[in-house]
């Protein structure tokens, strides 16, 4: 190859300039997306990481403190409380809302009367803003004259301060978020189910497979790409959704319903401690990146994509 | 004991009668082809036999047992779909033994049967692949393998070759027919391709608008079409139908000759050279007529020729009902020979 190149330098130079132009073209095409990504994603991330290593004095000057903020965070009981809360919140909402979404999708995918109405009904919570949802459920959970307590009254049970009791507040939020999210995830499952060829079900039924067997061995594995997509979204949402806390609990009582992002918001805008907020944000970013890595690095390879 | 009988079976979708009072019998170990243009009800008929659709009226028996109200699995049949309906996330081997797993056949027997079937359909070296890694013909073989491993006496095929190229279709046609005869299966085969019907079938049922147009051996359909519709459907190119006065006359292209001093004046419109023979498309009194000539015909478009055919090769149809006129054909022949 080198001999050939040496004996004919002109074609080689032409090839090299063509490759150069190709590269320039490629970068130009990537430029708009790259500018937006760098300006609004990559740069802020780097700035946050840098910011977490400094503290800002009252006069505006920054002082490098290294990992002192991280040390303070490790010693902060509210941070740990928020992290544990977030874990239970995720565990409570994700599997149930996904399972519910799948059941609803299979149910409304059938040919039946009132199918459109049922789909709409399941999807309605998604359309409502979180603030509105929180207000509706605030009424359900209101002690004594809320819907839930009136129902309890029918059975002769006394009132209960659902959101005011540390033992029930998280459960209440979880139920509400499941109600809000399941319909959204259902839409993805419904779309995926409609992509599946009815021939597969028929072929399985001719082989004598029961409905459950067909679902377990054919439908569910073929829905795995959707399940993964929905699961990733659900995980991100469990860290991202905090609007309802502002309306319903403000993280209380006794931080029993504080989630990580809500704590970050409080630290940054109520306590005005932006460098500690940056430190907490780095933790959140690390968690979310780990989930993304798990998806792209491991799960994607184990799932059948059509 | 695997003959299939349909007795006055009907199926409607709303006001549309997809299958309209059909009766037919596929003898045990024979290959019956349901033939017809798209939308004629042949696929619905097959799905009724499979149990994927429920009949509105009539009875279906397989091997003497009334299966009209049974589920597909209870009918003990196998089926090959037009789309093959392979499970995309399962390997070739898992696709083939899917039904055996459902029925909890022991592992040893499963493996033995898989080996045997893989040899029959020639997939032994591809068992670990996914369907997406196979060519069209190989996928077709997987679908076939899945159908025959069940060792069902009845096999239903819904246009199994329509997604293959012409050469492969020809190969698979021969293979499916050989397999059906070797395993002694009763097969119902749906196709819109009359070549497949003619080459494979023991019996052809030609359908039109949900009804049976003609039911007979390939030879009968070719040599004695019961209606003008059958005549127009069977043969490449199909039978010429020429209106002469108040008669509708059918002549096969191969029975027409170009001769000087022939009875009918015609003008050549186009010539198709197929190699072994040529199809000459002519115009006779404003009606199209095709003529099959041996070899590489030297007739040129625009040329005036004279055509002739023997009266014995004429088929006569009633112009109003389009039904075959049996007696008048013979009379007609006498009349021409007298004239």
- Please tell me the predicted confidence (pLDDT) of residue B166: 87
Same domain, yes or no: B15 and B78: yes
Q: Is residue B94 a contact partner of residue B87, using CB atoms and an 8 Å limit?
A: yes
Give the pLDDT band (50/70/90) at residue A272: confident
- Please tell me the predicted confidence (pLDDT) of residue B262: 84
Q: Is B80 left (phi over 0), alpha (psi -120 to 50) or beta?
A: beta
- Mind listing the pLDDT tens digit for each residue in A219-237? 999 999 899 889 988 988 8
B14 touches chain A (CB under 8 A): no
Of B102, B132, B146, Cβ closest to residue A208? B102
Cα gap B26→B60, rounded to integer Å: 11
Q: Is residue B55 a contact partner of residue B226, using CB atoms and an 8 Å limit?
A: no
- Please tell me the predicted confidence (pLDDT) of residue B69: 92
Same domain, yes or no: B23 and B146: yes
Identify from A195, A196, A203, A227 which residue to disrupt to test chain B contact, counting B C-beta atoms within 10 A and taking the largest count: A203
Q: Is residue A215 a contact partner of residue A226, using CB atoms and an 8 Å limit?
A: no
- Please tell me the predicted confidence (pLDDT) of residue B221: 93
Contact A199 B99 (CB under 8 A): no
**Considering B222, B241, B260, which residue would you say is the last residue of a domain?**
B222
Contact A202 B81 (CB under 8 A): yes
Cα gap B114→B131, rounded to integer Å: 17
Same domain, yes or no: B132 and B241: no
B77 touches chain A (CB under 8 A): yes
Identify from B44, B50, B53, B73 which residue to disrupt to test chain A contact, counting A C-beta atoms within 10 A and taking the largest count: B73
Same domain, yes or no: B32 and B159: yes
* A216: CB partners within 8 A, 6+ apart: none
* B282: CB partners within 8 A, 6+ apart: B266, B267, B268, B269, B288, B289, B290, B291, B305, B307
Q: Average of pLDDT values for A290-303? A: 81
Start-to-end CA distance of chain B, whole Å, equals 56
Contact A205 B71 (CB under 8 A): yes
Give the pLDDT band (50/70/90) at residue A25: very high
CB atoms within 10 A of CB A207: 24
B44: which chain A residues are within 8 Å (Cβ-Cβ)?
none
- Please tell me the predicted confidence (pLDDT) of residue A306: 60
Query: pLDDT at residue A183 above 60?
Result: yes
Look up the CATH number of the domain holding residue B191: 3.40.50.300
Contact A207 B150 (CB under 8 A): yes
Encoded tokens for B62:
């397989």
- Please tell me the predicted confidence (pLDDT) of residue B338: 40
- Please tell me the predicted confidence (pLDDT) of residue A9: 58
Query: pLDDT at residue A267 above 80?
Result: yes
- Please tell me the predicted confidence (pLDDT) of residue A7: 52
Q: Is residue A286 a contact partner of residue A215, using CB atoms and an 8 Å limit?
A: no
Cα gap B286→B210, rounded to integer Å: 33
A205 touches chain B (CB under 8 A): yes
Report the SS3 class of residue B142: helix
Same domain, yes or no: B70 and B210: yes
- Please tell me the predicted confidence (pLDDT) of residue B327: 55
Closest chain A C-alpha to B165 CA, distance in angstroms: 22
Encoded tokens for B282:
């002519």
B73 touches chain A (CB under 8 A): yes
Query: pLDDT at residue A2 above 70?
Result: no
Same domain, yes or no: B198 and B234: no
Encoded tokens for A213:
């067997």
Of B50, B102, B146, Cβ closest to residue A213? B102
B149 to chain A: closest CA residue: A207
B88 touches chain A (CB under 8 A): yes
Burial degree of B300 (CB within 10 A; 0-12, 13-18, 19+): exposed
- Please tell me the predicted confidence (pLDDT) of residue B56: 93
The H or E element that residue B313 is part of is: none
Closest chain A C-alpha to B143 CA, distance in angstroms: 10
A198 touches chain B (CB under 8 A): no
Give the pLDDT band (50/70/90) at residue A8: low
A221 touches chain B (CB under 8 A): yes
Q: Which residue has the tokens 């149930």?
A: A96
A203: which chain B residues are within 8 Å (Cβ-Cβ)?
79, 81, 85, 87, 146
Of B52, B146, B150, Cβ closest to residue A202? B52
Query: pLDDT at residue A19 above 80?
Result: yes
- Please tell me the predicted confidence (pLDDT) of residue A17: 86
The H or E element that residue B155 is part of is: strand B154-158
**Considering B222, B242, B266, which residue would you say is the last residue of a domain?**
B222
Same domain, yes or no: B98 and B61: yes
B52 to chain A: closest CA residue: A202
B91 touches chain A (CB under 8 A): no
Q: Average of pLDDT values for A7-17? A: 70
- Interface A-B, measured as beta-carbon pairs within 8 A, has a size of 56
**Considering B203, B222, B241, which residue would you say is the last residue of a domain?**
B222
DSSP A148-179: HHHHHHHTTPPP--TTTSTTTHHHHHHHHHHH
Same domain, yes or no: B214 and B254: no
Of A203, A208, A218, Cβ closest to residue B81? A203
Cα gap A248→A269, rounded to integer Å: 18
Among candidates A237, A258, A244, which has minimal Cα distance to A76?
Answer: A258
Cα gap A215→A220, rounded to integer Å: 6
Cα gap B190→A177, rounded to integer Å: 52
**Dihedral Cα A134, A135, A136, A137, nearest 10 deg:** 50
Q: Average of pLDDT values for A297-302? A: 78
Sequence ranges of the domains in chain A: 2-51, 68-302
B81: which chain A residues are within 8 Å (Cβ-Cβ)?
199, 202-203
- Please tell me the predicted confidence (pLDDT) of residue A5: 46
Of A197, A206, A213, Cβ closest to residue B77? A206
Same domain, yes or no: B261 and B115: no
> Helix A169-195 and helix A224-240: axis angle, to 10°?
150
B 120-179 residues inside an 8 A Cβ radius of A: 130, 132, 146, 150
A192 touches chain B (CB under 8 A): no
* B46-80: b (≥16 Cβ within 10 Å) or e: bbbbbbbbebeebebebbeeebbeeebbebbbbbb
B 206-225 residues inside an 8 A Cβ radius of A: none
B88: which chain A residues are within 8 Å (Cβ-Cβ)?
222, 304, 306
Q: Is residue B159 a contact partner of residue B190, using CB atoms and an 8 Å limit?
A: yes
Query: pLDDT at residue A4 above 60?
Result: no
Query: pLDDT at residue A152 above 90?
Result: no
Please give the tally of structural domains in chain B. 2
* A44: CB partners within 8 A, 6+ apart: none
Structural domain of B311: 229-338
Query: pLDDT at residue A45 above 80?
Result: yes
A202 touches chain B (CB under 8 A): yes
Same domain, yes or no: B88 and B211: yes
Same domain, yes or no: B181 and B239: no
CB-facing half-sphere around the CA of B219: CA atoms within 13 A:
1
Same domain, yes or no: B234 and B213: no
Contact B73 A208 (CB under 8 A): yes
User: Which residues of chain B fall short of a pLDDT of 70?
Assistant: 1, 327-339
Contact A199 B83 (CB under 8 A): yes
Look up the CATH number of the domain holding residue B294: 2.40.50.140
The CATH architecture annotation of domain A68-302 reads Orthogonal Bundle (1.10)
- Mind listing the pLDDT tens digit for each residue in A278-287? 999 999 999 9
- Please tell me the predicted confidence (pLDDT) of residue A293: 87
Q: Average of pLDDT values for A41-61? A: 87
* Predicted ipTM of the assembly: 0.82
Q: Average of pLDDT values for A118-145? A: 86
- Please tell me the predicted confidence (pLDDT) of residue A164: 79
């Amino acid at each position: 190859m080198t001999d050939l190149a040496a004996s004919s330098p002109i074609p080689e130079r032409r090839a090299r300039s063509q490759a150069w132009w190709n590269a320039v073209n490629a970068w130009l095409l990537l430029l708009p997306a790259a500018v937006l990504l760098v300006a609004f994603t990559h740069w802020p991330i780097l700035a946050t990481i840098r910011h977490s290593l400094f503290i800002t004095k009252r006069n505006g000057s920054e002082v490098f403190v290294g990992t002192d903020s991280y040390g303070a965070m490790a010693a902060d009981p509210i941070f740990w409380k928020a992290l544990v809360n977030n874990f239970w919140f995720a565990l409570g909402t994700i599997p149930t809302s996904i399972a519910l979404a799948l059941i609803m999708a299979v149910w409304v995918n059938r040919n039946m009367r009132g199918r459109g109405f049922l789909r709409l009904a399941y999807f309605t919570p998604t359309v409502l803003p979180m603030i509105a949802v929180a207000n509706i459920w605030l009424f359900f959970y209101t002690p004594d004259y809320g819907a839930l307590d009136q129902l309890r009254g029918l059975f002769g049970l006394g009132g209960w301060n659902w959101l005011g009791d540390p033992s029930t507040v998280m459960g209440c939020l979880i139920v509400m978020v499941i109600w809000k999210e399941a319909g959204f995830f259902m839409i993805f499952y419904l779309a995926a189910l409609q992509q599946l060829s009815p021939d597969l079900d028929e072929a399985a039924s001719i082989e004598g497979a029961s409905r459950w067997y067909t679902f377990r061995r054919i439908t569910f594995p073929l829905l795995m790409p959707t399940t993964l997509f929905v699961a990733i979204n659900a995980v991100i949402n469990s860290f991202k959704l905090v609007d309802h806390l502002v309306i319903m609990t403000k993280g209380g009582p006794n931080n029993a319903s504080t989630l990580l992002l809500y704590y970050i918001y409080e630290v940054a805008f109520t306590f005005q401690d932006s460098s500690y907020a940056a430190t907490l944000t780095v933790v959140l970013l690390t968690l979310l990146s780990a989930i993304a890595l798990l998806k792209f690095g491991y799960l994607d390879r184990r799932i059948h994509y059509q | 004991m695997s003959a299939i009988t349909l007795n006055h079976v009907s199926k409607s979708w709303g006001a549309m009668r997809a299958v309209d009072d059909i009766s037919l019998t596929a003898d045990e170990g024979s290959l019956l082809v349901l033939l017809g243009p798209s939308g004629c009800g042949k696929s619905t008929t097959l799905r009724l036999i499979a149990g994927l659709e429920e009949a509105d009226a009539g009875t279906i028996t397989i091997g003497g047992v009334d299966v009209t109200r049974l589920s597909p699995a209870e009918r003990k049949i196998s089926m090959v779909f037009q789309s093959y309906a392979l499970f995309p996330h399962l390997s070739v081997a898992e696709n083939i033994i899917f039904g055996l797993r459902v029925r909890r056949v022991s592992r040893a027997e499963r493996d033995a049967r898989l080996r045997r079937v893989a040899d029959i359909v020639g997939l032994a070296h591809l068992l670990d692949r996914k369907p997406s890694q196979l060519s069209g013909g190989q996928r077709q073989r997987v679908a076939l393998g899945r159908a025959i491993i069940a060792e069902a006496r009845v096999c239903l095929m819904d246009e199994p070759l329509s997604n293959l190229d012409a050469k492969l279709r020809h190969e698979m046609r021969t293979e499916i027919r050989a397999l059906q005869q070797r395993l002694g299966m009763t097969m119902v085969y749906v196709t819109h391709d009359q070549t497949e019907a003619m080459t494979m079938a023991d019996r052809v049922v030609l359908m039109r608008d949900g009804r049976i147009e003609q039911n007979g051996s390939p030879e009968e359909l070719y040599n004695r079409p019961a209606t003008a519709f059958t005549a127009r459907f069977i043969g490449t190119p199909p039978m010429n139908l020429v209106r002469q006065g108040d008669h509708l006359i059918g002549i096969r292209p191969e029975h027409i000759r170009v001769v000087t001093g022939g009875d009918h004046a015609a003008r050549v419109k186009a010539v198709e050279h197929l190699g072994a023979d040529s199809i000459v498309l002519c115009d006779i009194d404003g009606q199209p007529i095709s003529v099959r000539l041996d070899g590489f015909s030297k007739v040129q478009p625009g040329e005036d020729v004279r055509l002739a055919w023997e009266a014995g090769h004429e088929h006569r149809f009633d112009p109003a009902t389009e039904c075959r006129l049996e007696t008048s054909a013979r009379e007609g022949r006498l009349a021409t020979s007298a004239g």
